[in-house]
Amino acid sequence: MTTVRDATLEVLRRYGVDRIFGNPGSTEVAFLADLPDDLTFVLALHEGSVVGMATGYALATDRPAVVNLHTTAGLGNAVGALATARVNRAPLVVLVGQQDRRHLAAEPFLAGRLDRLADPYPVWVEQPVLAQDVPAAVRRAWHEAALRRGPALVVVPMDDWSAEVDPFLGRAAPERVQVPAPAPGPALDEVARLVDAASAPVLVVGAGADDPATWDALVALAERIGAPVWQEAFGARAGFPQDHPRFAGHLPAARSRLRAVLDGHDLALVVGTAALRQYVYEPGPLLPAGLTVAVVSADPDEVHRSEAELAVLTDPAVFCAALTARVALRDRPAPPRPAPDPVPPPAPGEPLRATHVFAALARRLPADVVLVEETPSTRPDLHRMLPARQPRGFVSAAMGGLGFGLPAAAGLRLGDPTRPVVAILGDGSSLYAVQGLWSAARYGCGVLYVVLTNGRYAVMDRLTERYGGKPPWPAFEEVDLHGLARSFGCPARRVRTHPELLDVLDEVVPTLAGRTEPLLLDIAVTPETHFTP
């Protein structure tokens, strides 16, 4: 007989799935026991690391990654990471274990009310009415995740896996979903008129533009209309080459500063994100007077929440390429890009700062590096000194929850071992997912982890001071990231001086492309005294 498990494994096989990311629980044992040899179970030691690693893998491969989570506890632990996967546009098929269907109504131990536990972050959630429907639900989850670019959840009661599949019942979901090439349609005419009528257009780009086709289309468009290009605030990924002469920088996340940046422009064409992301609330208008906003995105949520006169739901690469061919050429040379201020080495006895580390990396990292960022207090300096130069050159936890960067870097390297991966993390950020180092070491993910250790939550200290108070939490300077990494089987080295920093980077950076084991650099830096979102 063919069981639900057999049929589901065959669905995964047909889509080329060769690994499942998870942390096991008893409600999933019937599915996981004796996995066939063509499927590898990739273990992480916490569900946040499971989903973070799978998110990186999905971004690197541009295909859904399959995740296994354990009922309420596992899904609950993973909600923050699922939210990040949604904002980072990572397609995930998430199988969530549930108690035995035959006594589920009595809410036995490990039963969970799972269908809405992660809301609103999954793009689709289903607990099949019949065990028979599980394989079709997994098929549909694959399509939903791939097309809507986010996590799709299937809740499976544990006894469903051994149920027999009735060969005479229908599939209930297509084997393949073909999406026609998106035509720009009538909206192209309207946006082209807006661009041609504008005297000073500006482009704003976001994570939805982070692919080679959209980068090419946006470069051509920016050069044709002579527009500066800004990256959205707190972006998950880079939407434009940040070493291009037209790249102007990262938008501020406060209204007054945003208005100052956009003042003098009469059209903002926002591509691959919503208009416009903020952080700390400030009263007053979002935009300067006289600015028209148009949004182009493939994400319905972004389109519907944007403060814009016009929003177009379409493929950004196709639309922007067609728009470039329609609008008038403007002869506007790009303004000269000021080089970042040089960072002199610290004087004898002076402590290392984050900018010393960034400057050393900037001189050594190759153009194809995948830079994973989770260092909130120094992110503006990182943006300024380490621009993304290729698609997928920058990945961050744009949802704001810490603990994404460490496992995501491992998943990115696992999904695409042809590109070097460097994760720049704060020590506080690292502690939210430090157990991910075990998975990185166990599965040969050759990531360079650059941990800026200052023994405190520096960004929270600065924000508290801005409110005129003192932080009520202590520092944690006794925490030893070097020792923790080694306890998880991850090689680690301490760096305390500038010569040590240069020596280790000169030794390690040339090996990044071929590394098959991670390395953590525990770099002591002095806490920053300012933070500007």
- CATH assignment of 186-326, given 3.40.50.300, 3.60.15.10, 3.40.50.1220, 3.30.1490.20? 3.40.50.1220
Please give the pLDDT value at position 201.
97
Exposure class string for 168-192: b at 16+ Cβ within 10 A, else e: eeeeebeeeeeeeeeebeebbeebb
pLDDT tens-digit profile of 42-90? 999 999 999 999 999 999 999 999 999 999 999 999 999 999 999 999 9
pLDDT tens-digit profile of 315-353? 999 999 999 999 999 988 888 877 778 889 998 888 999
Please give the pLDDT value at position 332.
85
Rounded Cα gap, residues 40 and 282, in angstroms: 49
The CA-atom distances, in angstroms, between 326 and each of 196, 221, 229, 239 are: 9, 10, 19, 22
Q: pTM for this structure?
A: 0.92
Lowest mean pLDDT among 10-24, 84-98, 516-530: 516-530
Q: In this structure, what token pair is assigned to residue 297?
A: 């995105």
Please give the pLDDT value at position 168.
66
pLDDT tens-digit profile of 484-498? 999 999 999 999 999
Question: Residue 216 is inside which H or E element, if any?
Answer: helix 212-225
Phi-psi region of 254 (alpha: psi -120 to 50; beta: other; left: phi over 0): beta
Q: Is the pLDDT of residue 468 over 80?
A: no
Please give the pLDDT value at position 514.
95
Q: Is the pLDDT of residue 532 over 70?
A: no
Rounded Cα gap, residues 307 and 309, in angstroms: 7
Instruction: Say whether 152 sits in a helix, a strand or coil.
Output: strand
The average pLDDT across 173-199 equals 84
Confidence of residue 466 (pLDDT cuts 50, 70, 90): confident
Work out the angle at residue 166's Cα, subtended by the Cα atoms of residues 160 and 169, and round it to the nearest 5 degrees.
Answer: 110
Contact 137, 173 (CB under 8 A): yes
CATH topology of domain 354-524: Rossmann fold (3.40.50)
Instruction: Say whether 189 sits in a helix, a strand or coil.
Output: helix
> Among 387, 385, 363, which Cα is nearest to 247's?
387
Q: Is the pLDDT of residue 170 over 60?
A: no
Please give the pLDDT value at position 443.
97
Q: Is the pLDDT of residue 281 over 90?
A: no
Rounded Cα gap, residues 224 and 202, in angstroms: 12
Rounded Cα gap, residues 411 and 177, in angstroms: 27
Rounded Cα gap, residues 103 and 296, in angstroms: 48
The average pLDDT across 454-464 equals 76
Rounded Cα gap, residues 361 and 506, in angstroms: 10
What are the residue boundaries of the structural domains of the chain, listed by start? 4-162, 186-326, 354-524
Please give the pLDDT value at position 12.
96
What percent of the chain has a predicted confidence (pLDDT) above 70?
A: 97
Same fold, 4-162 and 186-326: yes
Rounded Cα gap, residues 277 and 290, in angstroms: 19
Please give the pLDDT value at position 270.
96
Please give the pLDDT value at position 179.
67
Instruction: Say whether 450 sits in a helix, a strand or coil.
Output: strand
- HSE-up of 303 (CA within 13 Å, CB side)? 12
Work out the angle at residue 383's Cα, subtended by the Cα atoms of residues 378 and 385, and round it to the nearest 5 degrees.
Answer: 95
The average pLDDT across 108-126 equals 91
The average pLDDT across 374-391 equals 93
Confidence of residue 529 (pLDDT cuts 50, 70, 90): low
pLDDT tens-digit profile of 435-446? 999 999 999 999
Please give the pLDDT value at position 360.
97
Q: Rg of the chain over CA atoms, in angstroms? A: 24
Please give the pLDDT value at position 180.
66
Q: What is the CATH number of domain 4-162?
A: 3.40.50.970
Please give the pLDDT value at position 262.
96
pLDDT tens-digit profile of 384-431? 999 999 999 999 987 778 899 999 999 999 999 999 999 999 999 999
The average pLDDT across 507-513 equals 96
